[in-house]
Structure 1
Amino acid sequence: MSQAPAPPRPGRRHDREIVSLAVPAFGALVAEPLFVMADSAIIGHLGTPQLAGLGIAAALLMTAVNVFVFLAYATTAAVARRVGAGDLPAAIRQGMDGIWLALLLGAAAVAVALPAAPWLVGLLGASGTSAPYAVTYLRISALGIPAMLVVLAATGVLRGLQNTRTPLHIAVGGFTANAALNALLVYGAGLGIAGSAWGTVIAQCGMAAAYLTVVVRGARRHGASLRPDAAGIRACARAGAPLLVRTLSLRAILVIATAVAARLGDAEVAAHQIVLTLWSLLAFALDAIAIAGQAITGRYLGAGDTAGARAACRRMVQWGVASGVVLGLLLVLARPLLLPLFTADEAVHGLLLPALLVVALVQPVSGVVFVLDGVLMGAGDGPYLAWAMLATLAVFAPLALAVPALGGGLTALWWVMGLMMAVRLVTLGLRAASGRWLVTGAVRG
C-alpha cells in the first residue's frame, strides 16, 4: 500500500514563498537605478555641464520619489491584509484608494516643482554652466512625477496581492523603453538633455499605464469600484504618514553622513560616496526579502493566523542573517576588483578598504534589520516604526557630528553607521519579540 507524500515542512513552505516574492522584487528594485545609469551614459556624451545638470536634477527627483515610497509600503500591507481575509474586491478597492492618493500627491508635486525648479537647482549648488541644463531636465521630468507615484502605489497593490513578477516585467519593459527613447530623442531628434527628460517621462507614463491596466482588469473581474473614495484616500494618507516620518528620518541620517564626510576632506567624501553606493546596492538585495516580509505578514494577519505570522517572521530573520553573511563575504572578496572600477586615486583606495570592511561586517545585522522592518510594515505598525527611526536619528546625529571634532576619519564615520544599524536592530527586535504587532483582521484597528 503506497503512502501519501508527507506535507512540506513549514520552513520549506516559507522558503518557497520568500523566494517566489523576493527574487522578482529584487529585479524590479534594481531597475530603478538603471534608469539613472542609462540617462547618465547617454547624456555624458553631450558634455560635462549637461552631465552635471542631469546629476543635480536626478538627485532632486529621486529624493522626491523616495520621500513618497510609503505609497508602496502602506498599500502593500493594507492590500495583503484583505487578501488574507479572503476579500479580494476590498483588497483591490484599497489599492485604488492608494493610486488616487498617488495622483493627488503627484499633481501637488508638479505644481511645486515647475516654478521652484531654478531655486531647487541653486539650493544644490549648481554652477552657472550646469544650472540651465538642470532646470530644463527637472521641469520636463517633473511632469512624470504623477506617473512615478502611481507606479509606487500600483506596485504596492500587486505586492499585496502576492504578485512581484508583474512589477518585474513592467520594470524591465520601462527600462528598455527609457534607454531606446533617450537615444532616439537625444541624438536622433537632436533634443539634447530635454530629449532625455522627455524619454524618461514617456517611459514612466507607459509603466503607469501598464500597472493601471492590470489593476483595472482585476477590479472589473472582482466587481471593485474604480471611483475615488474620499474616506479611503484619507485612510491611506493616515496609514502612510508614519512611514513618511520614518523615511524622512532615514534620509536625514544619510544626508548627515554625507555632510560629515564632506567636512573630512575631498578624498574622504569621494570614498564615502563609493561606499554609500555599494551599501545601497547591497540594500536592494536585503530589501527584496523585506518586501516579501510585507506581503506575507499582511496576508497571515489578515487571515487571523498569528502563529503563521510568527513562524514566517522567524524564517525570514534566518534568511536575513544568511543573506547578510553571504553579501558581506562577497564584498570582502570583491574589494580588490571593485576599487579600480570607481577610481585610480590611491589615497581614496586607502580610505575605502577599511570602510568597506566595516560595511561587510555589519551586513548580517543589516539583514535582520531589513527583514524586521518589512515584517512590521506588513503588520501596519507604522507609528512604532516612525518613533523607532526618530530615536535612531537622535542617537546617530550627535555621534556622527562628533567624528571630525574627535579626529576620526571615514572609517570612524562608518562605524557610527554600523552603530546606527545596531540601534535599529534593538528597537525592531524588541518590538518583534513583544508580539504587539500581531494585530489580526482585514483592517488594523
Structure 2
Amino acid sequence: MSARSGTAVRRVVVVGGGTAGLMTACAAARAGWRVTVLESSRHPGGRARGPALGAHPVTLGPRALYKSSGWRMLRRLGVRPRGVTPAMGAARALRQGDLVPGYATPQGLLTTPLLSAREQLAAARLLGLARAAPGLAPFTGEQWLERRLPSSRAAETVFALMRMMAYVGSPAQLGADALAGRVAAARSGVLYVDGGWQSVVDALLLLARRLGVDIRTGARAVAVTAADRGPRVRWAEGGDEREETWDAAFVAGLTPSGAARLLGEPEPGTGPGLSTACLDVVLDRLPVPAVSLVYGVETPVYLGAEPAAARTAHPQGAVLHLARFDDGTPRSATDNRKELEQLLDVAQPGWRRHLVEERFMPRMRTMGALPHPSRGGLRGRPGPVTSVPGVFVAGDWVGGEGILLDAVGASTRQALDACRAYLSAED
C-alpha cells in the first residue's frame, strides 16, 4: 500500500546499482523512505568495482578520489574513505618518447625546462586560480587555454596535467567551465583509496543494508511509465517479468540514451560520451621503483602505480593502471594496447619478466556525456526532473555541477531534493 493510501512510509525504487544508485539509495533511506534497488548485473558497484584479476582484486582502470562534491556526498552519508595522497613531486612527464622530470607540483612547474619563465608563471597562475564560471561556458577547454597562456607549447604542457584530472584526451572535447571546475576540484586534494574503489562500494553496500535497502541483482529494468498512484516500473528478474507501482523512482547512473529508452523519452541532446582504453597490470615487483607516475605531454597516456599503503592486490608486488585517453581520433584497440605496452617499456623496462596478471579494457566508459559549449556547457545539461511524474535522474551527465564523481554527487543531491518537493506536493 502506498503512502497516498494511508501508509506513513514512502516506497521508492532506484534503477541502477552503481555508485550513483547506491549513493541515491542510501540518501533516500536516510530520508526515511523504504528503498529497493534494481541492478541488472550480478554485482553492484558498476565501474567502481574491483573485480578479481587472477587471484587479485584490482580496481577497473586508473581511479582517484578528489576531495570535492562526490567525496563530500559520501561523507554526508557517513562513508569516509581513507587513502594515500599520491607523491606528485616524483611524477615523470613523457615527452617525445622520453621520461623527463615532471611538473605536477608548484615547484616542478616553476622549474621545468619545458617552459620559459614567462610561460611558467602564466601556467602557475592559471592552475592556481581556475574555477568553474558562467563566463567560460561559451568556450572549449582548448580556446580557454589559448586565451590564457602565451604559447601553444604552454597550453599543451598545462593540459598534460589537466588530462589526468579530467580523463579527456583533448581540451577541444570539453567545455572550459567543466575543465576549470575540475582543476579547482583537484586543488582540494586527491586520494588513492585504501583497498581500491571496491572498498567504497563495500562501504555503501554495508550502509544500504543497515538502512534496510532491498538490493536486487540480476534485475533488469525494462520500462518506467506514469501511473495513477505513482511511477510504474517493469523489470525482468530470474526469468520472470515483474511490474510494480512506487511513490517515486530514481534512474541513477545509466547513460543518457539508456535512461531515455527506459522512460520512453526522446534521447537528450547531451552529446557523445567518453570511453578510455585501460590496461591493468599486476607485477611481482616494479623493475624501476622510482617511476610510479607518468603522464604524457603530447600523447594522451597515463601510468600510475598504486601506493604500497593503499594496495591490496599483491603483497610483495605492484599494481599499475595505464590509460590511453580518447582524444577524438579514430584508433583501433590493437593500436591503443600497443601504445600502453610501449609506455610500460619506457617506464618499467623488463616488466614482462615480472608479469603476474593483466587486464585490457579497450573501451571502458568514463563519462556519460561530455559537457561542451555547443550544448551549453555544464549549465546546458539536463536537470534531475523527467517528463514522467515522480521519476528523477542522477548521474555524471545530469545537473550543472562538476564531472565524473563530482557530477554524480551533486546530481544525487539535486534529485533527492526534487523528489522531496514532489512527494510533499502530493500529500
- Length-normalised TM-score, structure 1: 0.25
Between Structure 1 and Structure 2, which shows a larger proportion of helix residues? Answer: 1
Between Structure 1 and Structure 2, which shows a larger proportion of strand residues? Answer: 2
